[in-house]
Amino acid sequence: MIAKFPKFSKLTLSDRKEIENITKLFPPYSDHNFSSLWAWNVYDSTKLSLLHDNLIIKLTDYENSNDEILTLIGMNKIEETIKICLKSSELKTVGNKIRLIPEETIKQIKDLDFVKIQEDRDNHDYIVPAWPLVELRANEFRGKRSSVNRFCRIYSPHILVERKNMTHLSQADIDSMISVFEQWMLSRNLSENESFIEKRALLRIIKSRNNLSNLYIIKIIVKENVAAFAIVEKCDKDFALLHFEKANILYKGIFHYLNRQVAGLALDLGAKKINFEQDLGIPGLRCSKLTYHPSIFLKKYTISKKT
């Protein structure tokens, strides 16, 4: 059971139902998705609290593991909830800010005299329509279409696409995913330290797959070698969420081919839109995600005391 504010309790697998009872009222914001919270809790430091049936989360900063973030999601007595949080001693440990707050929660604030609200563009989630990504017919996808066609020309008929629910993963599947991750690391010239958190997050979601719902894996196999994989979650409200995607970039066009397969899986699962998560303000990542032409962003905001 999640603690009542101002007390906090550590995130456990048994918290899933309580968390999803709140988050199901929203589009699938990546930061508040249970599978994402669990996977990225690599230091076992994520803590939860409930205040007026709103969920308050304290978690490690994605970009700096020495810092913490306080975030909240909910729709009940939001102004009162925020005022209490802003007066809390917890705020001093998180830079005196509440971050990653969904737009729907922000819209509940009517009195703007007590709080400063700042849009957090670096953490907006990219929402991409699935069907255009499968078709690749639009002019804006011309480059991706050419890349996918080139990939198929080079490697057909030796391409195999495997899909399965993650509860059915074999040890061979897991070994191949780790191998692809390590190949991706080498292609990006990343050290073990630089990729430590993401690799741990991947291992956590794999290890806990039987306690997480609606997770699917796609593997791209070329000439009997696993060249790429993606982990996709089917969420509520016609959404899918892309948790991980990794590929060996020695296979030219592999990422474009993989993302087309992700879109196809999303559609087959009944999802019309895919959450490609945020870009964290990284220029190359932002440029890449924008080429998928998101239809909307799930916007997030930062709140602090007005001085």
Per-residue pLDDT 10s for the chain (307 aa) are: 999 999 999 999 999 999 999 999 999 999 999 999 999 999 999 999 999 999 999 999 877 778 899 999 999 999 999 999 999 878 877 889 999 999 999 999 998 888 999 999 999 999 999 999 999 998 999 999 999 999 999 999 999 999 999 999 999 999 999 999 999 999 999 999 899 999 999 999 999 999 998 999 999 999 999 999 999 999 988 999 999 999 999 999 999 999 999 999 999 999 999 999 999 999 999 999 999 999 999 999 999 998 7
- Pairing label, strands 68-73, 225-234: unpaired
Residue 89: per-residue pLDDT: 77
Let me know whether 209 and 99 are in one domain.
no
HSE (CB half, 13 Å, CA atoms) of 223?
5
Same domain, 132 and 257: yes
**3 assigned to some structural domain:** no
Q: How many alpha carbons fall within 13 Å on the CB side of residue 76?
A: 10
289 occurs within a structural domain: no
> Which residues constitute the domain of residue 113?
9-124+300-305
| Together in a domain, 149 and 267 | yes
Which sign does the torsion angle of CA 6, 25, 302, 66 carry? positive
Tell whether 253 and 131 lie within a shared domain. yes
**Does one domain contain both 130 and 98?**
no
Could you give the CA distance from residue 262 to residue 186 in angstroms, rounded to a whole number? 24
Residue 135 lies in a domain: yes
184 and 249 part of one domain: yes
Query: Total structural domains in the chain?
Result: 2
Query: The pTM is what?
Result: 0.96
- Confirm whether 174 is domain-assigned: yes
Residues 290, 306: Cα–Cα separation, whole Å: 33
**Residue 292 belongs to a domain:** no
Q: What is the pLDDT of residue 62?
A: 78
Instruction: Say whether both 217 and 196 belong to one domain.
Output: yes
Task: Looking at the structure, tell me whether residues 129 and 272 fall in a common domain.
Answer: yes
Distance, in Å, from the CA atom of 4 to the CA atom of 241, rounded to the nearest integer, reads: 29
Residue 51 within a domain: yes
Residue-level pLDDT at 33? 98
Residues 46 and 177 in one domain: no
Same domain, 23 and 97: yes
Residues 256, 232: Cα–Cα separation, whole Å: 16
pLDDT of res. 21:
97
Domain check: are 105 and 166 in the same one? Answer: no
Residues 78 and 181 in one domain: no
* Residue-level pLDDT at 213: 84
**What is the CATH number for 194?**
3.40.630.30
